[in-house]
A = this chain, B = another copy of it.
Amino acid sequence: MLRKRSYALADQLQEALGEQGYRTTSPRRAVLQAVAGQERHFTAEQLREQLPKVGRATVYRSLRLLVDSGALCRVLLEDGTLHYQLSHHGHHHHLLCVECGSSQDLLGCDIEEQLHEVSAAHSFQLSGHWLEVYGLCQDCQPQ
């Protein structure tokens, strides 16, 4: 079931890249399938370990493609390591559990609006931002 979902997602990603003029190759498909099958955020090297037959450069190049196309987002962990994560909902933020590594999307949040207000108050023309939120998810909280 999860498998099925992963394959469907991989095909979807493939199609999106195709529309942007990128070719369908088997290494690329392998990367997409691996990405689609990730249950949580992952590093480039973790992905690479799962794809021993794909060259390192291809993994990195594919990741960049996916980030640029909006399919993946970069996530900065508290220890400074860069992870990647499927991005289903356009721009949004994550609640990252520092214990188990899970990640919840932060929904119904008007941080953007507040940032716009505060920026305006500082005569600053906002163009982007990066927000990561760290803490404990429900399952990892003491009792």
Contacts and interface: CB of A to CB of B under 8 A. Distances in A.
Contact of A80 (B82, B98, B106, B141): B82
Interface stretch (A1-9, A33-41, A47-55, A127-135): A127-135
Given A76-B76, A106-B122, A115 B128 contact: no
B119 A95 contact: yes
A100 interface: no
A138 interface: yes
Interface residues of A, number: 36
Contact of A138 (B95, B104, B106, B123): B123
Contact of A98 (B108, B121, B127, B138): B127
B111 A138 contact: no
A114 B109 CA distance: 9
Interface of A: 76, 78, 80, 82, 95, 97-98, 104, 106, 108-111, 114-115, 118-119, 121-138, 141
